[in-house]
Amino acid sequence: MNRRGQLWLAVLVLLGACDHARARAPTARDVGPRYYVVGPRPTQTLGRKAFKLLPGFGVVIEEQRNVAGEMVGRTSLGRDLPMKDLRPVTPSSFTGVFMQGRTFDFGWVVREGAAVREQPSSTSRQLARYPLYARLRLNSHSGPEGYWRLAEGWMASDDLRVPRLSSPPLGVAPDEPWIDVELESQTLVAYRGAIPVLATLISTGVGAPGTAFETPPGLHRVRAKLLAATMDNLTHQGVVPYSYEEVPHTQYIGRVALHGAFWHDQFGHRRSHGCINLSVTDAEWLFSFTRPALPKGEHEISASNETGTMVRVR
């Protein structure tokens, strides 16, 4: 193992990162990766040493070949899987909003066909329906509990996620990049000092406070950045298993990370095992926004507790 690899391993040990993670340098075949999930039934690797993969596990197929009349895919970890047991997934097309002087007077629809009603009541006349991720302008931030006031009517707060302006934590310099994660609204806002740059939807941990699948609140720093990492908890017993190959644009802030999620399209809802999920597009932008910058040609970098970008989870 070279010195850089030793440093990365030390960082993972220090952080207790996402149960199990492996960094991997992308190859030329990674151009235009093909994402798949296992399902609806379990599958297992082909060859003498079988390895079982459960429905929902995510893989990246780098190449396919015909073996005795059946298509076999080779994953980024070198596992051979029958393609009939995999289903392709297209990463979410959702992207956040570059603020550029905008005010926080909007929200995103997080349920397909969410209704706008004439009055703040589920029995009131329906005026319109909106698709998932439609961005709607708010008429007011005030209203009866459980509803948002739109220009054309009312929408249930369970159907809309609204980002909010926040002040920088103490110690953040006027032009310093930092990130604010609000668990209640499932939104993330990237700032430079007090100026918001990007607002977007996220998916945080499903766990209750203090449990393994919670996204831990508090002030954190980016401690390691990887272009791609494989995450799983398959060495643990008595837990709900997960495994995802080639998780794109991963940034560890402790035992959890900010990263792209190609395997679901439910941003705005708690979904993860503790990490902060973003769309693949948003994760790539955020990766370039934070410190430390990844040197050209490198695939991972670590940071001290003073140099990494601050991430506030609240």
Fold assignment, 177-313: L,D-transpeptidase catalytic domain-like (2.40.440)
Pull the structure tokens for residue 80: 């051979």
Distance CA 314, CA 302 (A): 24
Pull the structure tokens for residue 219: 């002030």
Q: Are 309 and 178 in contact (CB under 8 A)?
A: yes
Distance CA 255, CA 20 (A): 10
**First vs last Cα of the chain: how many Å apart?**
38
Domain boundaries, the chain: 3-88, 105-161, 177-313
- The residue whose two tokens read 């509990």 is 145
Q: Are 252 and 16 in contact (CB under 8 A)?
A: no
Which pLDDT tens digits describe the chain residue by residue (314 residues)?
A: 444 444 444 444 344 445 555 555 444 344 345 899 999 999 999 988 899 999 999 999 999 999 999 999 999 999 999 999 999 999 999 999 999 999 999 999 999 999 999 999 999 999 999 999 999 999 987 778 999 999 899 999 999 999 999 999 999 999 999 999 999 999 999 999 999 999 999 999 999 999 989 999 999 999 999 999 999 988 777 778 899 999 999 999 999 999 999 999 999 999 999 999 999 999 999 999 999 999 999 999 998 877 899 999 99
- The residue whose two tokens read 């439609």 is 134
Predicted TM-score (pTM) of this structure? 0.88
Distance CA 133, CA 129 (A): 12
- The residue whose two tokens read 């604010």 is 180
Superfamily for the 105-161 domain? SH3 Domains (2.30.30.40)
Greatest distance between any 2 Cα atoms in the chain: 66
